[in-house]
Amino acid sequence: MRLASILLMSSLAPRGVLSGRRWAGPVTFGEVFAMKMLKKLILGVSLLCAAVAVVAAPAAQAKSNTVTYAMYGDIKEWDPSAAFSLEVMMLVNVYEPLLWYNPPGSAEPFTPALATSWSTSDDGKVWTFKLRKGVTFHDGEPFNAAAAKASIERTMKMKKGAWYIWASVDAIEAPDEETLVIKTKTAQPIDLIASSQYGAYMVSPKAAEKGGEWFNQGNAAGTGPYSVRQWKKGQQVVLEKNADYWGGWTDKNFDRVILKVVLENATQVQMLKSGEADFISLVPADSMASLAKNEKLTVGLIPSWKNSQFLINVQKAPTNNKKFRQALAHLWDYEGVTKNVYAGAAVPARGVIPATMWGHNSNLKAPSFDLEKAKQLIAESGVKQADRKVTMAYIGTSEEYKNSALLFQQNAKKAGVTVELLPGPWGTIWDKAKNLSTAPNLQSMTWWPTYPTPSDWLIGLFRTEKKALFNLSHYANPDFDKLVNAAVDLEGSDRDEAIRKYHQAQQMLIDDAAAIFYADIKVRVARQASIGGLEINPAYAAVFFHRIHRK
């Protein structure tokens, strides 16, 4: 059939067919036709360009009271009880918890938010909060003890996101409108928990009734300074001033916050330079220098509670050999990675607890980059030459992981160890790492605490798990478990003793080489220099837009 053959042939055409037929007759009609079309086209395009140029000129806009933040992903979970990711940028501005945690070094550990005062019983099991009066949610519902109780109970019941911070809660009572009593099974730092960046926000009971689906259409009902005005999926979230905010408003405050989704860091950098964005969330290491030179911009490194390590699988050959693991830890170029790969936005780690968190110990004995020592340990380990091969999995989209891994690969080669790189999406590599048969020898991991406690790392990453979840070293050490369990129970009553035990536990992990602890992460930030009032707080990966202004 002719049609079919033409379709087939012309489908091939894009990939290389140019007709070879020659026909050189004195034809002009096609020519005329072609010329006419071209002429019309050129005319049309120039007219359009002219029109655009005329109109585009006055399109430059004033943005006095708007602040724009470039997010590297869209909001995924709008329900504050379930959110556990980038949403924090929206959450801290739209919702409020009972308490805010203050940055380390502040005079007071907490700033009252929806609670004005609080106290705990001597045994640390009963916590009483006095709540702020006259606060209403964005939907007009009043905030009171019943609403607070309902919020926390909802989170606990939903079992999503960070709900487990409340796992030890026994009962919540609301004896009167302004009093909330939280009773726990064991002594717990409820003040810390109530200031968690996830899972501790107060939500309107009326909104809560509408359920997760209502939230995920881009709705919110908190008590915070901003309410959600618009959500264009994949493009932007716009927050608008909540005029009734109990904290009040001044002329300096921003009326409007645009959270713009910009996936690519190069694009973010350009938007910052052009003034289109006031803040960006991804600052490539290589751009820091050129941004710093720009007078209109402020760049900086701020300490965080995030740290990165490569967990070493202690059950899988050849890394089931302790000396071999120790050798790997000596093959890591700690200075090189933090200085060059992270471009200074990290410091070499000492143990699994970052230096910015209580419970850290800078006197731990940690391995250093030492090729000779590594070679010696490998020789002592008894691992045969042919078996000196390890696999290394990391999140493929992370330049830092990738470049660190490439550097490690190069150094390991010098010591006769072959490293196979296995980048992938987090979901995939995590799933593989959980199962011993598919697990890599080395697994990338960046950890941060849900609320400020060292136990988050020690329990989350290294306590024995029957079925591995995040203990991707597959580390199982009864002595370590005992130590950490004891320390957790002491956190409320005897913090010094708890810290001593945490120190011991950390040294144990280093000696067992359960991971290459390599970097305490600093966050690279860049913003317009005209933004004032910014306070850095590692407890929240977010900007409190109500507290900043344009100078």
Partner 1 sequence: MIKYVAHRLVMMTGILFGVLVITFAVSHVLPSSPVEMMLGAKPTQEQIDAARVELGLDRPLYEQFFRYIANAATGDFGVSLRTNQPVASDMLERLGATFELVTLGMILAVLIGTPLGVLSAVRQDTAADHGTRTIAIAGVALPPFFTGMLLQLLFYGTLGWLPLQGRIDSEILLDYSFETVTGLYLIDTLLAGQWQAFVSALLHIALPVLTLAVFSLAVVTRISRNMMVEVLSEDYIRTARAYGLPRRAIHYRYALRATLIPLLTVIGLTYGYMLGSSVIVEFVFDWPGLGGYIVGAIISNDFPAVMGVTLFFATTYLLVNLIVDLLYFAVDPRLRMA
Partner 2 sequence: MSSIDALAGEHPARPGRVAFALHLVRGNPLMVFGLAVLTAVVLGALLAPWIAPYDPTEINFGDKLVPPRADHLFGTDSLGRDIFSRVIYGARTSLTVGLAVVGLALLIGIPIGLVAGYVGGRVDAFLMRVTDVFLAFPALLLPIAITAALGPGLMNAMLALAISWFPWYSRILRGAVLQVREELYIDAARAMGVRHIWIMIRHALPNSLTPVIVQASMDFGYTILAAASLSFIGIGARPPTVEWGLMVATSRSSFLEFWWTAAFPGLAIFVTVLAVNVLGDGIRDILDPKYRSRR
Task: Select the span of 18-26, 176-184, 220-228, 282-290 touching partner 1 (CB under 8 A).
Answer: 18-26
Instruction: Please give the C-alpha separations between residue 370 and each of 146, 168, 328, 342, 411, in angstroms, as whole numbers.
Output: 60, 45, 10, 20, 10
Residue 229 partner contact from partner 2, partner 1, none using kind-dependent CB cut-offs of 5 to 8 Å:
partner 1
269 near partner 2 (CB under 8 A): yes
126 binds partner 2 (CB under 8 A): no
In 3D space, the residue among 535, 545, 109, 540 whose CA is nearest the CA of residue 300 turns out to be: 535
* Cβ neighbours of residue 273 closer than 8 Å, sequence gap 6 or more: 291, 294, 297
Quote the tokens at residue 397: 């989209």
* 3-state DSSP assignment of residue 96: coil
Which of 133, 157, 159, 185 contacts partner 1 by CB under 8 A?
Answer: 159
Minimum CB separation from partner 2 for residue 466, in Å? 28
Per CB under 8 A, 293 contacts partner 2: no
Q: Which residue of 160, 183, 210, 316 would you call a contact of partner 1, by CB under 8 A?
A: 160
Residues 378-407 that bind partner 1 (CB under 8 A): 396-397
Conformation bin of residue 177: beta by default, left when phi > 0, alpha when psi is -120 to 50:
alpha
Residue 183 amino acid letter: K
Binding mask 45-84 for partner 1 (x = CB under 8 A): -------x--xx--x-x-x--x-x-----x-xx------x
Tokens found for residue 550 = 């344009």
CA–CA dist 432, 261 (Å, integer): 30
Segment interacting with partner 1 (CB under 8 A) among 263-271, 299-307, 323-331, 527-535 = 263-271
Neighbours of 22 (CB within 10 A): 5
Shortest distance in whole angstroms from residue 131 CB to partner 1: 29
Using CA of residue 452, residue 445, residue 427, residue 286, what is the dihedral sign?
Answer: positive
CB of 216 or CB of 409, closer to partner 1? 216
Position 5 contacts partner 2 (CB under 8 A): yes
Count residues near partner 1 (CB under 8 A).
Answer: 81
Cβ closer to partner 1: 303 or 449?
449
Whichever of 175 and 425 has its CB closer to partner 1, that residue is 425
Find out whether 69 and 257 touch, Cβ atoms under 8 Å. yes
**Nearer CB in complex with partner 1: 223/471:** 471
Among residues 66, 116, 219, 270, which is the contact residue for partner 2, using CB under 8 A?
270
Find the DSSP H helices in 451-521: 455-457, 478-490, 495-511
> Which of 218, 213, 441 has its CA nearest to residue 317?
441
To the nearest 10°, report the CA torsion of 469, 470, 474, 477: -100
Pairwise CA distance, residues 204 & 263, whole Å: 32
Kindly identify the residues of this chain, within the stretch 216-245, that bind partner 1 according to CB under 8 A. Answer: 216, 229-230, 232-236, 238
- Does 278 sit near partner 1 (CB under 8 A)? no
CA of 353: how far to CAs of 312, 343, 359, in Å? 17, 22, 7
By CB under 8 A, name the one of 16, 30, 105, 134 that touches partner 2: 16
- Residues in contact with partner 1, shown as a per-residue x/- string from 444 to 473 under the rule CB under 8 A: ------x---------x------x-xx---
Contact 165, 200 (CB under 8 A): yes
- Answer yes or no whether residue 38 interacts with partner 1 by CB under 8 A: yes
Give the 3-state secondary structure of residue 114: coil
- Which of 1, 15, 31, 496 touches partner 2 (CB under 8 A)? 15
Contact footprint for partner 2 (CB under 8 A): 5-6, 8-9, 11-12, 15-25, 264-266, 269-270, 284-287, 290, 336, 339-340, 396-397, 399, 402-403, 405-407, 409-410, 421, 423-424, 428
